Structure 1
């Protein structure tokens, strides 16, 4: 008879123990979530959209699908190029377990809003194509990283090789927002340093349907180079109308530092041949980029943009850093992101600086003549490799507090 209470107490103890252990086990099994915050419906949709989500999922697949013994999930949100919308999505993700890290973003105002949220919560954010230099300058954060480009990297290295060819006078057509100003300032400084001249500039509003008056000003300046600072649909519209005005046929050279392969594909290379720009990625650069891009193409039916390639690389490196840190703690993971070399199809032996900038080479490229195209999407000629040290704004000029602390 005495054995019954003993067995009963043991059973109760087992139940109590199970009720404590089960939630802990369930918590340990919670997925590691990566949030792809992107423009799914606005002016950046063709350079980001589902392709960015696909790129993140490819990184998860290549990593093996699990980290720290937990499954990895990719979730996505549409910021609509609106800072308040983007911030609301990310705040919900961070505060309610929707995401442990954020990748992509692109639009500068949204990126800055998201970066501030990441700072206050010690969460990781890895920007793809985000133009504002403030990301790694005044607004830098210990857990924030810039993986693709900024205004300096695609503007400052280009004038010197153009001026060496005799293309020594410039006219700016610049988008009237902070990214446009930052790119113009970076290019103008490099033009002056290389011995060139800026003959004038004009600014246009975002989502501009008619570039006629702006193109006429650029044409009448007689500048040898018309430097178009725009993005996404504005680039497509401006280049279509430049073709109608016969600007290239008239002897002027068009430079569009921020050029996407999707813009070129939409316009047709006959309309943009000879266009010059800088890029951190081209799908047909080597065997490794080709193999990855063909995988991407089979699912997306378009070759990857530089933004989508950066999302893949940033996501993969984040997962490697989580594994190395043995934790999802943002500061611990950020330390590993900076310590580990970045090695993948996007960059070899890349290094992440104190300010969060990924050191990687850029490529000065131009659009081929139609007669030189040998296969679909074979649009770029890589004319020059721009070393990582030339593409990156010098740390000696940095306004990032983290840089001062690291000295």
Structure 2
């Protein structure tokens, strides 16, 4: 378990030491407090918690350097992948710790709970890890901005691009919980729209399953061209490794990861992961700006390169703090709704996602990229893992505003 948050825990000191005058000027203004709520000790720790925290710290340092009157502090907590723990933590943060915005919440159930508390307390929720599209759909709020990705984007960008590339017949192995059901269902619709078909699907108990032999045998027997893995984290890693042992890729079956990160590929290693296809909205080697971001983060993220979830934490925090600086920290602290409204009114621009915008429903818009994992001999070094296959533009990547059921639309 991580240490409990301290009152001035993890102040983003990078940049402060080099700016003593700016720090002195900031003392008289109100403090913007951010709470990074993530998995710091559980199964998604390597994908989220510490690396997301480091990226948020980087955003804070850059924002304070750009706006010398801005003073920001960060606290952290582990939601333990439990809805009640996450909701109670942010309620305490809002009521007793003076926290103004929560970042990440890399669990959809926790994210929906946090969104509800943020709306009740009129604070800000910057969702960078939760994948449920309900955050900008039926359960949208004027206090939430949903960055990075969601189930709709992942299902559409991956499935339709693969069908266009010849992957017309699919079989799904799906984790038997809300996320797995949702992404399988959405992908099935998009596959049909693109002219493909789903030959079958099998669900497995989550989180009790570690042996995927039975499910992989069914996938092999189906004759499908594409195996869609509607799972995440350790389940994805285990099922890919076992699919390789069964020889599915050698028999011509492509494997599509419906939710995966650069971190997963690093954990598997290229000999196992080569040929996998997945959609991400950020990759460190995509362009000069993404490479510049990774250059600033080197040495700050331990053994990992930032993935899309971590990059989302950075970009959402940076844009939020730009809004706070523009409207004034004192005004931003008065109303989360007003601050989110200002965020929506401002164009977004950062090194991870480039230029973009935030819709009325809180959905952050940017391209989605379908990547294929390189062969070991094609990689030039650590984290040089992806080859770009297809790009889905922002207006096509995410669910149309009118279809989400958000009252803000």
Task: Using structure 1 for the length normalisation, give the TM-score.
Answer: 0.90
Counterpart residue number, 2:337 = 331
Instruction: Please give the alpha-carbon distance, in whole angstroms, between the structure 2 residues aligned to 1:165 and 1:358.
Output: 28
Counterpart residue number, 1:244 = 245
1:281 equivalent in alignment to 2:278: no
Instruction: Please give the alpha-carbon distance, in whole angstroms, between the structure 2 residues aligned to 1:273 and 1:54.
Output: 29
Instruction: Please give the alpha-carbon distance, in whole angstroms, between the structure 2 residues aligned to 1:395 and 1:215.
Output: 37
Counterpart residue number, 2:177 = 177
Conserved? CA contact 2:103–2:128, under 8 Å: yes
Counterpart residue number, 2:389 = 383
Counterpart residue number, 2:13 = none
Q: Report how far residue 159 of structure 1 moved.
A: 2.5
The size of the alignment, in residue pairs, is 378
Instruction: Please give the alpha-carbon distance, in whole angstroms, between the structure 2 residues aligned to 1:371 and 1:363.
Output: 23
Q: Report how far residue 233 of structure 1 moved.
A: 1.0
Partner SS state of residue 199, structure 1: strand
Task: Using structure 2 for the length normalisation, give the TM-score.
Answer: 0.89
Counterpart residue number, 1:13 = none
- Report the CA distance shift for 1:45/1:313 in structure 2 as closer, same or farther (over 3 A): same
Instruction: Please give the alpha-carbon distance, in whole angstroms, between the structure 1 residues aligned to 2:220 and 2:71.
Output: 56
Counterpart residue number, 1:350 = 356
Counterpart residue number, 2:379 = 373
Structure 2 residue runs of 5 or longer lacking an equivalent are 1-25
Conserved? CA contact 1:297–1:304, under 8 Å: no
1:116-162 CA-to-partner distances (Å, cap 9, x unmatched) read: 00011111001012221111101100010110111010111222332
Conserved? CA contact 2:158–2:256, under 8 Å: no
Q: Which moved more, 1:323-332 or 1:235-244?
A: 323-332
- Report the CA distance shift for 1:141/1:68 in structure 2 as closer, same or farther (over 3 A): farther
Q: Find the structure with the greater CA-based Rg.
A: 1
Conserved? CA contact 2:157–2:368, under 8 Å: no
For the aligned residue pairs, the C-alpha RMSD in angstroms reads 1.7
Instruction: Please give the alpha-carbon distance, in whole angstroms, between the structure 2 residues aligned to 1:61 and 1:70.
Output: 10
Q: Report how far residue 27 of structure 1 moved.
A: 10
Instruction: Please give the alpha-carbon distance, in whole angstroms, between the structure 2 residues aligned to 1:115 and 1:181.
Output: 22
Instruction: Please give the alpha-carbon distance, in whole angstroms, between the structure 1 residues aligned to 2:184 and 2:284.
Output: 28
Conserved? CA contact 2:64–2:71, under 8 Å: no
Q: Report how far residue 241 of structure 1 moved.
A: 1.1
Where does structure 1 differ by over 3 angstroms across 4 or more consecutive aligned residues? Answer: 26-30, 65-70
Structure 1 residue runs of 5 or longer lacking an equivalent are 1-25
Conserved? CA contact 1:132–1:178, under 8 Å: no
Instruction: Please give the alpha-carbon distance, in whole angstroms, between the structure 2 residues aligned to 1:178 and 1:67.
Output: 42
Q: Report how far residue 311 of structure 1 moved.
A: 0.3
Counterpart residue number, 1:218 = 219
Q: Report how far residue 103 of structure 1 moved.
A: 0.6
Conserved? CA contact 1:65–1:71, under 8 Å: no
